[in-house]
Amino acid sequence: MDEVARLTRPDRVHWCDGSDAEYAALVELMQANGTLLALNQTTHPRCYLHRSNPSDVARVEHLTFVCTREREDAGPNNHWMAPAEAHAKMDALFDGCMHGRTLYVVPYCMGPIDSPLARCGVEITDSPYVVANMRMMTRMGAAALARIERDGSFVKGLHSTGELDPERRFIMHFPEELTIKSYGSGYGGNALLGKKCHALRIASWQARTEGWLAEHMLIVGIENPQGETHYVAAAFPSACGKTNLAMLIPPEGYRRDGWKVWTVGDDICWMKPGADGRLWAINPEAGFFGVAPGTSTRTNPNAMAMLHHDTLFTNVALTADNQPWWEGIGDGQPAVDWQGRSYDPANGPAAHPNARFTVRINQCPSWSVHAEDPQGVPLSAIMFGGRRESLVPLVFEARDWAHGVLVGAAMASETTAAATGKVGVVRRDPMAMKPFCGYNFADYFAHWLSFDKPGAKLPKIFHVNWFRKGADGKFLWPGYGDNLRVIEWMLKRVAGAVGGNETAIGILPKREELNLAGLDLSAQAVDALLGVDIEGWRAELTAIGEYLDGYGARMPARLKAEQQRVAAALAGGEAPAKAAARA
């Protein structure tokens, strides 16, 4: 802190303790300087709105760097800069940048304070908005500082909003030094350094070194009518329904039968093999930083129920009576848009497409008390998925761990508004980690493969696609709560209760194995959802092979062999077990 203060030259230094009084003072300060607006305190007590600079509303992947001594360690999946060059560039920006401002020292813990899998950090920032968000998103304050003293190590993060100039904006990661430097942005993923920067980019490096995994995954508990709870981790790119799935409400028939869903986390999962050989997982976050547009009582009742008090909203619109509003909310009308202008449809959406809410996780009605278990929760299954209008079936199971790693490595999805750039473009996004893996993807895939060893009781791996469309351009699958029907089939596969239909790309449900009761699905829609387009998949496997080849000599031979095995099964038009036997 002394070193940073000499560089940044703040007027004041404040050590954050995470107390209620401190938070109240921050809110009062931001209201006074106009960076936080109180919402309707009758309908939304202790809820506030923050408006970002219009040039600072999403992650900036093209300005995000991984700075390792060797370029190959960062890999072609990351922008790279030599550490000395990056430090010099950033320190020049930080020089005197906090003059006239307060420097906040934010000690925080990612994960339950007493969890052996939790890791700590300290973020130094000049943004009270960042401090307020970090208080909701992490275990921040005195308890975290005490753990740091016990552990003797922590991730160092330095952040300044700077001038919010897009030409003077960089997010630098130094994984070998456990250090992050972020300048020129106040947006969540760029400024809340405990989130993507620490919990994924730096933690993925830590995890490889220490024998665990840091993943862009939700964690949800599925309780069946017999009272048994199975935990599932699921990786989806941002704004592809992770929060909705994490807070899923079972369809009426399932609720009547006694099914329950428990939320452990909606975005990040740290997992490690336990003494019993299973993978055990924690959610390192203490809150939600969720996408608001599209969230409604129809799509996510649990989310709506928790947003009526003690919530920070970012870049949403306002109704005439000062309530938050966004596209898809389902009721009310916008009066003021996300930039503070009188709403005019000619100016575009009322709320920014990447508008957010920040709220403590324990406000969620489906929050699981086991989210605080220090040892974590045991995983029965891992799901990968993305937005694919065609080709990819509703669900299929990988035949083993190596095939599952290939399925995750080959993930592709249409881009969303969570990152700058064009929306709707299909790109490879392995394990939904393309923007977040802190090292070379080839080494990352090898690390995943390394968990398949004698004695391991690894989760089954599945791939899902809620976004398949028909010829009319409409979604074939209803999604939302009805996704539990697919998860039920997965858990039956985990238990060995159904056989499935073995195909070249994996094991799909037989029509009679899926509970489709009460759904208005035509036979043609079911055929499309559960069909395998052999020709299309042959082209896909060729593209996957070319993608893997792009990582050069570091790409694990085992993963290439797995791609070739599936390609051979498709070429022969036969089930993979037969292809393997013939080989």
Q: Could you give the residue numbers annotated as active site?
A: 240
Kindly tell me the number of DSSP H helices and DSSP E strands found in the chain. Answer: 18, 29
Looking at this protein, which amino acid is placed at residue 268?
I
By the 8 A CB rule, do 318 and 325 touch? yes
Please report, in range form, the residues annotated as the binding site for GTP.
239-244, 356, 387, 480-483
Question: Can you say which residues are annotated as belonging to the binding site for Mn(2+)?
Answer: 196, 216, 267
Reduce the DSSP state of residue 444 to 3 states and report it: helix
In angstroms, the first-to-last Cα distance of the chain is 61
Between strands 48-50 and 312-314, the pairing is parallel
DSSP state of 458: P
d(CA 79, CA 172): 10
* The residue to which tokens 């109240």 are assigned: 24
Q: What residue type is 88 in one-letter code?
A: A
Residue 457: C-alpha distances to residues 70, 373, 374, 400, 560 (Å): 35, 21, 20, 12, 24
Full DSSP string of 31-92: HHTTS-EE--TTTSTT-EEE---TT-SSB-GGGEEE--SSHHHH-TTSEE--HHHHHHHHHH
Here the tokens at position 35 are: 């960076």
- Please say whether the beta carbons of 40 and 48 come within 8 A: no
